[in-house]
Structure formats: C-alpha cells, structure tokens
Amino acid sequence: TLYVNQGETVAITLLNLDERGQPHVLAIPSLGLKTPTLSKNGELATLTFVAKDPGVFEYNGRTVFDGRERHVHMEGRIVIRPK
C-alpha cells in the first residue's frame, strides 16, 4: 500500500526487467491512468498525478504470464489521506 497526502504530486515508475520480453502495463483505473505497454527489458514509464481527492484507489500491473493477464505481485492500493 502506498500512502500519500491530498494535494501531493505523486510519481510512480514502472521498470520492465523481464528478460523474456513479456509486456507490462501499470494502471490506476479509477483515476484513468495507465502507462504505455512496456515490451522490452529496460523500458520504463512514469505515472505522475496530483492526489486531488482522498480515498483508496487500486492499482494493477498487467502482463501475460502463463496465460494470465494479471500478475498477483503487481496489485495494490494507493491511499490518499485528506489534508
């Protein structure tokens, strides 16, 4: 879980270190944020946003791994605490 305060600027970087070339995407659906698809080892993308509204927001990282679209180690929550 990532905790931030309302009004803060948040930057989350996804770095693809998958040597097999599996594509990866990081998304915060309820905030309408999503990285481009990273398909090469060493590629990175950063999601930057201002934590406007307090609440709990789920994020997920998607990849195709053994036929599944969502990798269990790439899910969590962002908690925006009110001022």
Its pTM stands at 0.84
* Long-range contacts formed by 74-78: CB under 8 A, 24+ apart: 74/24, 74/26, 76/1, 76/2, 77/1, 77/2, 78/1, 78/2, 78/3, 78/4, 78/10, 78/28
* Model pLDDT, residue 74: 80
| Residue pLDDT, tens place only, 13-67 | 999 998 887 888 899 999 999 999 888 999 999 999 999 999 999 999 877 565 5
- pLDDT band (50, 70, 90) for residue 72: low
